[in-house]
Amino acid sequence: MLLLFFLVFVLFSQINVIFTHCEQNPLCRLSNDSTIMICDSIFGSQNESSLSPIISCLPTAKIYLFRNFEQIPSHTFQNVTFPENQSFIIKLINISIIDTEAFSNSLIIPRSSKLSIEIGELDSLTSIRLKSNAFNNIKIDHLHFFNFNDFNGHSIFDTDCFGNNLEINKLTFEQCNIIGFSNIISKTVNVYHLSIKSSSNLIQLTDKNLPLFLSTSKSFEISNTSLEIINPHTFQAWSLVLEELIISNNLNFEIFPLMIIDGVLMKLHKLDLSYNSIKILDGNYDWFAYSYTKYLLLRKQQLDLFLKTNILKTLTFLEKIDFSEGFISDDNNNDDLIKNYFPNMSHLNSIDISYTNLSENMIIDLLTSISKIANHFITIGLYGHTLSNKNFCSYYKIFKNAPNLLQLELDKTHECNCVIDLFYSNQLREEITNYSLLQPTCLFNSTRMPCNIEKQLSLSNCTIGGQHVDESNTDSKVGNYAFGAVVAVLTIVLLILLSLGFGVVYQIRRRRLTDLDMEQPVENPLNAIIEERLQNK
């Protein structure tokens, strides 16, 4: 009993110590489930509103929300140790100043854990002052700036707020009036993914307003901005390790300029130019700088504008192409567009032409080109398109070029005609049932009679291997097999009869050679001896 009382006393004493220590600055509250720490100046009295929150006395939370403070002082998170294998978020809303080393190595983050910092909110446009080395000697998974009118009073982001030994996996500016970066001081900063989204002030991109840390970036994205111009020689390929270049959804971006990259982006895997308003592209555009690209996205773009520059013939390593929602201009010279500008692509794994205005003949040209070299599964997105029986002969040749290798993604409502039954054979259907490949739902109707492929070949007057398929020879496979069987049986019977006939003749001839001539009987030798003795007497 005494031991129990002692344990209760010790526990109460410890709780009282924590409570007393935190009561000195009651600006933070922990949620009931202990996952969210909310620190707000309105929690304190008038005299305490200018104080800074003290959180080291409180248990570790997964989300820290700081609101309505004049500044986040240096070493705010000092002596706060985060657990391993966890993800944490620090949110700063309506904060005016982030002091030097507010986020530094005094904030202890295990290598197995991740820290994200979100500054600002989408509903409120504000300004912020970032002091020198505000982020210093720390690893941040995602640093996200929301809705800022300016940084330190300017539209240029001052990179002096980044200290040495800073590692940021992803740096995002969203709805910020940013037009570029200052590069006065060079520090050891690694930013692996840089993204600028929804910036109405970003109109021009040059080598002068790009950050120095871009040399460490694997991905660079500019999307949904007012971008109009990219100057020549903006990117120096020799100093870059870019794997992804995303310039998308910029409605004022109408001219894709020449020579924006000096050299070749040797590590580039993904080039995304989707949802721009590109209308002008030099017919002799040199895509060599992007020649190592494996994934090309041109969603909702004028496809003939790009194809006629021989982009696909230059990007020979392409594995994935996305032309979805793209369109072909109303040009009479575009009938053979696919034949002329879609080369043999041995590395291709998938291509998406969903919801484009490609004609069915263009689709046939595309599938024909792909089928001729296919030696592995290739997925073709065809949502919004219809494959009709009137072109069955063409589809049959495509299928024969690459049996069961072309996996067509079609609308669920597509009718189950002979083309569908051809490409979605029972064997293939069983193989892809467990995969995400979408297919017409009518294929799963067990009461539906599948198409008679042989009969359809005849009805469509198909020419296979230079020979016309006659319906009389294709109405029934059983008839063909029966006729063949009869011919085979008759041939065997004839051979047997011939064999028997030759055997009979052989036996007759043999007997004739061995039979005695009865018209001249053989003389008895005993009679000859008796006659000879009688004569001697």
What are 311-328's pLDDT values in tens digits? Answer: 999 999 999 999 999 999
CA dist 401 → 19, 460, 466 (Å): 77, 19, 15
Residue 519 lies in a domain: no
pLDDT in tens, 423-473: 987 545 555 554 556 679 988 888 999 999 999 999 999 987 666 655 444
202 and 346 both lie in a single domain = no
Q: How many CB atoms lie within 10 A of CB 157?
A: 25
Residue 377 lies in a domain: yes
Strands laid side by side in the 148-151 sheet: 71-72, 97-98, 126-130, 148-151
| Residue 333 main-chain phi, psi, to 5 deg | -85, 5
Residue 476 is predicted with a pLDDT of 44
Mean predicted confidence (pLDDT) in 347-355: 98
Q: Which of 186, 217, 248 is the last residue of a domain?
A: 217
Residue 400 lies in a domain: yes
pLDDT in tens, 468-491: 655 444 444 444 545 565 566 677
Residue 466 lies in a domain: no
Q: What residues form DSSP beta bridges with 117?
A: 90, 143
SS3 399: helix
Q: Which of 217, 237, 272 is the last residue of a domain?
A: 217
pLDDT in tens, 254-277: 999 999 999 999 999 999 999 999
Q: How far apart are CA 187 and CA 213, in angstroms?
A: 9
**Which residue from 88, 156, 138 is spatially nearest to 117, judged by alpha carbons?**
88
- Residue 361 is part of a domain; what is its CATH number? 3.80.10.10
Total domains in the fold of the chain: 2
Residue 139 lies in a domain: yes
- Check: CB of residue 218 under 8 Å from CB of residue 192: yes
Q: Which of 202, 217, 232 is the last residue of a domain?
A: 217
Element at 398 (helix H, strand E)? helix 392-401
Task: Kindly state the percentage of the chain with pLDDT values over 70.
Answer: 80
Both tokens of residue 34? Answer: 């202990």
Domain region containing 127:
25-217
